[in-house]
A and B are shown apart, each in its own frame.
Chain A
Amino acid sequence: MLNGSAIVVDGLVKRFGDVEALTGVDFEVERGSIFGLLGPNGAGKTTAVRILATVLAPDAGHAEILGYDVVRSPEEVRMRIGLAGQFAAVDPNLTGQENLQLIGRLAQVEPSAIEGRARELLAHFDLADAADRPVRTYSGGMRRRLDVAASLVQEPPVLFLDEPTTGLDLQSRLVLWETIRTLVQGGTTVILTTQYLEEADQLADRLVVIDHGAIIAEGTASQLKEQLGGAVIEMVMQADDEVRRAVSIVGPIVGAEPEIDGRTLRVPSPDGSHLLAQMLRQLDDEGVLPTALSLREPSLDDVFLALTGHGAEEASPEEGSAA
């Protein structure tokens, strides 16, 4: 059974008091793939992961991991998953080595395999030198890396990473991305939540965008970007009347009304820099050059603006406040 879905999620609903954290979420994740849950804080990503990891029980709907129902067979699910939550969930009083050995033991790993596996992971995450120091003495980034290592001790077939790169420096982030890719090549299935489109784009084979507990878009990262019309040009003008003049110049070139935010104009640029060059020539001719200018890949904020009409920041109520 090497092909098919590793994870099946069907009509998942979760309420915290009056707040609906998930309002009926469905998706399937293919074996040996990376699945991204993209959304702002409080969208319901963490709630979904916690249900799949058997930490929370859903109020309705069901979910299966490798054929085991998360509510009816939690033990079987737990034998097959690794979880790195949003906190660096490691014991500050144990050393790095002891933390990983404890997790190995609790994951019911064959005792003789535990110590070596812990050493291997510490070396991989550049923590070998700190292996025998209490975690209390670790920096935030080191704790975070140890936390991710802890989710990998048993080499789980299904791995949940909830915003794993939050708090990591660029170097550690790249190492983790590489680790995730290697794991997936070996057959691991990964669910990754992130607030960054860039991260989802780099890693996820497929992704869903979640907002207010519901899936609002689904596909590959490039499909989503196409939906947005590729890159975005942002121009900051010097004065309000220049904004009006720029709009009247840029509008006909783009064939659409630019989005205005104070003195900032935002224009979708599906063909990259070509349109930009044309706009700049025209603006220069008219003497209304912008004071700042950028051409950038669409961010999560752009995805949200395009899909929901509101930005990612002004999103949902706080989720999982009990955490």
Chain B
Amino acid sequence: MSATVTEVGLPTVRRTALAKQFYDGTAMIWRNLIAYKRVPQLLVFSTIQPIIFVLMFRYVFGGVVQKSLPPDYPYVDFLMPGIWVQTVVFGAIAAAIGLATDLKSGLLERFVSLPITRSAVLVGRTGADLIRNLFVVILMFVVGSLVGFRVQTNVICLIGAMLLVVFFGYALSWIFATLGLAVKDPETAQAAAFPVLAPLVFASIAFVPADSLPSWLQPWANHQPVSAVVLAARHLVNGGPTAGDVITAIVWCVAILCVFVPLGVRTYRRAL
């Protein structure tokens, strides 16, 4: 770190690439998190909605779904990992809406003209969503516990399951960040997101066992990323074979990141 003085201007600091990445990224994360403090409705929406899902599935549909489960496997235990994943999947839309809004308001143009790392805007958005997801998933664990959810394994596995879910949410944030920058309009981003998310969340094993789905839907439901992550999280907290499932889930997350981090950064540079 060395201070330089130009002819006109305040003293500036030249940071190494890595230090700059961290410095710019945290500044952007902070700015996105402040929105949750200033517009509490944002956080209320991303917590109330999953709580309603918990109550609805636990008490309204739970009785029916329980019939497809082994009698010693309570539906609430089956449900909660699905709820966590559903929460981070729907939450990912925030990245698309947030970036499309910044683009439309001219804020991204200002950011691009500043000496920040290329990825800072995207790291700021996805990083803030990561922290929010962490908070919401822990909250959902508490809510689940209040309606009877019990971890059958141990604390390490529980933390592992939550981290896996949050990691998946992080990967999805990059998909939706790219989408938001591509469509360039918050309303369009929201409208475009739902048709992508609905089949991923509802045609999955998040709320019901795969064998209760029609046979033509089962191949999809068994082999799509939401199901992979739900299955791994479920085995982590309810017991069952974990290694293979967890690896599959992680491979999905890493694959998504490998495609959408570079694609997102590229879309960001071309969005203006």
List residues of A whose CB falls within 8 A of some B CB. 2, 50, 53-56, 75, 78-81, 83, 85-94, 98, 102-111, 113, 117, 134, 136, 150, 153-157, 186-188, 322-323
CB distance from A75 to the nearest CB of B (A): 6
CB distance from A83 to the nearest CB of B (A): 4
Q: Give complex CA distance A186, B7 in Å.
A: 10
Q: Give complex CA distance A20, B120 in Å.
A: 32
B9: which of A90, A150, A154 is its contact (CB, 8 Å)?
Answer: A154
Contact check, B109 vs A91: say whether CB atoms are below 8 A apart: no
B247 within 8 A of A: no
Q: Give complex CA distance A102, B120 in Å.
A: 13
Q: Give complex CA distance A165, B132 in Å.
A: 39
Contact check, A188 vs B8: say whether CB atoms are below 8 A apart: yes
Instruction: Provide a sorted-by-A list of 15 A–B residue pairs whose CB atoms are within 8 angstroms.
Output: A79-B115, A80-B6, A87-B106, A87-B109, A88-B106, A93-B38, A102-B27, A106-B115, A107-B115, A113-B11, A134-B38, A155-B10, A156-B8, A322-B272, A323-B109
Taking A55-B272, A110-B10, A187-B8 as given, write out 9 further A-B residue pairs in contact, using a Cβ cutoff of 8 Å, ordered by the A residue number. Answer: A54-B112, A78-B115, A85-B106, A89-B107, A98-B31, A109-B13, A110-B13, A113-B10, A154-B12
Contact check, A108 vs B14: say whether CB atoms are below 8 A apart: yes
Digit string of B1-39 for contact with A (CB within 8 Å is 1, else 0)? Answer: 001001111111111000010011001000100110011
Asked whether A136 and B9 contact (CB < 8 A) given A89-B106, A106-B114, A323-B109, the answer is: no
Asked whether A157 and B113 contact (CB < 8 A) given A87-B105, A108-B13, A110-B12, the answer is: no
Interface of chain B, main secondary structure:
mixed
* B contact residues around A90 at 8 Å (CB): 107
Contact check, B9 vs A157: say whether CB atoms are below 8 A apart: yes
B272: which of A50, A93, A105, A109 is its contact (CB, 8 Å)?
Answer: A50
B112 closest partner in A (C-beta): A55
Contact check, B27 vs A105: say whether CB atoms are below 8 A apart: yes
CB distance from B108 to the nearest CB of A (A): 8
* A contact residues around B34 at 8 Å (CB): 93-94, 98
Asked whether A106 and B116 contact (CB < 8 A) given A85-B106, A136-B38, the answer is: yes
CB distance from A117 to the nearest CB of B (A): 6
Pair count A-B, CB < 8 A: 112
Contact check, A85 vs B12: say whether CB atoms are below 8 A apart: no
A92 closest partner in B (C-beta): B105
B8: which of A85, A102, A110, A186 is its contact (CB, 8 Å)?
Answer: A186
B31: which of A89, A94, A322 is its contact (CB, 8 Å)?
Answer: A94
Asked whether A89 and B6 contact (CB < 8 A) given A56-B272, A110-B12, the answer is: no
Asked whether A86 and B15 contact (CB < 8 A) given A56-B272, A102-B31, A188-B8, the answer is: no
B184 within 8 A of A: yes
Asked whether A78 and B113 contact (CB < 8 A) given A56-B272, A93-B39, A322-B184, the answer is: yes
Contact check, B39 vs A54: say whether CB atoms are below 8 A apart: no
A-B interface, 8 closest residue pairs, ranked by CB to CB distance from nearest:
A87-B106, A89-B106, A78-B115, A157-B8, A110-B11, A93-B35, A83-B113, A155-B9
A183 closest partner in B (C-beta): B8
* B contact residues around A2 at 8 Å (CB): 7
B202 within 8 A of A: no
Contact check, B7 vs A157: say whether CB atoms are below 8 A apart: yes
Asked whether A109 and B11 contact (CB < 8 A) given A50-B109, A54-B112, the answer is: yes
* B contact residues around A110 at 8 Å (CB): 3, 10-13
Asked whether A155 and B106 contact (CB < 8 A) given A93-B39, A322-B184, A322-B272, the answer is: no
Q: Give complex CA distance A131, B113 in Å.
A: 24
* B contact residues around A186 at 8 Å (CB): 8
Digit string of B99-142 for contact with A (CB within 8 Å is 1, else 0)? Answer: 00000011101111111100010000000000000000000000
Asked whether A107 and B109 contact (CB < 8 A) given A113-B11, A157-B8, A186-B8, the answer is: no
CB distance from B32 to the nearest CB of A (A): 9
Q: Give complex CA distance A167, B114 in Å.
A: 24
* A contact residues around B3 at 8 Å (CB): 110
Q: Give complex CA distance A78, B115 in Å.
A: 5
Asked whether A54 and B107 contact (CB < 8 A) given A102-B27, A322-B184, the answer is: no
A108: which of B39, B111, B115 is its contact (CB, 8 Å)?
Answer: B115
CB distance from B129 to the nearest CB of A (A): 15
CB distance from A112 to the nearest CB of B (A): 9
